[in-house]
Amino acid sequence: MKKSILVVLLLFGVIAQSQNKKWTLKECVEYALENNISVKQSELDMQLADIEKLTAVGNFIPSLSAGAGVSENTGLSFNPVTNNAQTTTFLSASGNINVGYTLFDGLRNFRQLQRADISKLSSQYSLDKMKDDISLFVANGYLTVILNKENLKVLLSQNLVTKEQIERTEQLVEAGSLPRGDLLEIKATDASEQQSIIQAQNNIQISLISLAQLLLIKDYENFDVEEEGYDIVDSGIADKNVSEIIASARQTRSEIKIAEQTVELAEVDLKIAKGVNYPTLSAFFGYNTRYTDTQSFISEVDPDNPTITQQIGTVQGTGQAVIGEFSNTLVTEVGADPFVDQLYLNDGIGYGLQLNIPILNGFTTKGNIQRSRISLERSKYQLEQAELDLESTVYQAYVDAKGALKSYEAAELALESQELAYDYAKERYDVGLTNAFDFSQSKVRYDNSKIELNRSKYDYIFKLKVLELYFGIPATELKF
């Protein structure tokens, strides 16, 4: 009984621990990369690329086929062994093995293998790009949750100050030191802050649900993230020149690699299309045998009377008979040979070479070649466009990161100024030199400056990580 209770308590402890689990950013990214549907679809593309390569390798292997058949014939039929017409019922069987091998096909098989390798590499780059995109989506969603939580902390902290001011103001109003309007003003500020707190709590819940949906986690109520340990970590990317970041992005980004592989695929497709113009030479080998259970007739020389004489004609003019001597044969019916013996006796082999020379096929080959050339030119334009798009995107990310840094630095200065102004307004309000409205306005500006600092901080963190990703740092190695 005690053991059962202990097991139940342990189970409840495990469940409670799992429900209270707070996810780190690294755990969220790793979980998304393992479970995201888009990533799984890209992994399926990798499997298809492996199948394509397996098929291309199989083109170099000889084709091998075997066949067998059995039938029963009634009435007039041809004996498959003697090829004689017989009116009887018999069972027959046949078997064959055929081997074929392409000796030359305009190097199309070799090009298909090249294409399969390029296609697999392109699928890998697509998977890498998908993982980078998912990692950024998760990081953005995660930082949004952290930002909303930080904003809630600011609002709760300042609301405590407001409640303290309400208590103090009530005492001063009762003592006649302050007008009742000041108390009403601070209570109105408290009500407004309560609304902001509720809105901030809703923002946290909505951002958590959005992140959980991105991770395909259904337990929205118990999903939460770790709030500590996320600060600005600059690996030196912000100090680099934009041209250096663009050059690194061209070498490392999957967008460019995918476009380059598309060009290579188009080049191989053009070679494959041209290969149809070449003759095709193939070799073949075939083996077949047959069996039947029907009886047959054989002719044998009579051992007792091996020869007979017969008149075969007369001499014209004299009428003299012409006599010929012939073998005296007897026709006897014999049973079918044993199955194994017939397979050996009735087998046959065929082998040879086959040459196929294309001459005219209604301009189909010519049209395919022209289409392949157009596809190649289009893929080159797409590569050029991808390079331009990447340069523009990196430059925009660079400008965004620089702007976010300036915004963050300005928010820090603004917070310092607003904090001094708030402390000064609080001191004046405490000694009755300013009214509650002016103090409330100063407090609102101070609260907004702290919220703006949080927003600019996490905005800069995210944009800095985007820039690091373009520089070539893997998404799983980004530091926060």
Residues 133-187 have pLDDT tens digits of 888 888 888 888 988 888 888 888 888 878 877 887 787 777 776 677 777 887 8
Average pLDDT over residues 99-114: 91
Check residues 282 and 302 and name the one with the higher pLDDT: 282
At 358-416, the pLDDT tens digits run: 888 888 888 989 999 999 999 999 999 999 999 998 899 889 888 988 998 899 899 89
In Å, what is the CA distance from 459 to each residue of 143, 196, 266, 405? 8, 21, 41, 9
- The reported pTM is 0.73
- Return mean pLDDT, the chain: 82
CATH class of 62-102+280-290+335-357: mainly beta
Q: What is the pLDDT of residue 264?
A: 93
> Superfamily assignment of 17-61+105-278+358-477 in CATH?
Outer membrane efflux proteins (OEP) (1.20.1600.10)
pLDDT of 13 strictly over 80: no
Residue intervals of the chain classified under CATH 1.20.1600.10 are 17-61+105-278+358-477
Residue intervals of the chain classified under CATH 2.20.200 are 62-102+280-290+335-357
At 119-146, the pLDDT tens digits run: 999 999 999 888 888 888 888 888 889 8
Check residues 306 and 147 and name the one with the higher pLDDT: 147
Q: What is the pLDDT of residue 79?
A: 67
At which residue do the structure tokens 């199989």 appear? 58
pLDDT of 205 strictly over 70: yes
To the nearest whole percent, how much of the chain has pLDDT over 70? Answer: 88
Q: What is the pLDDT of residue 233?
A: 62
Check residues 135 and 98 and name the one with the higher pLDDT: 98
Q: What is the pLDDT of residue 261?
A: 92
Query: CA triplet 146, 147, 150: central angle to 5 degrees?
Result: 85
Q: What is the pLDDT of residue 281?
A: 93
pLDDT of 65 strictly over 90: yes
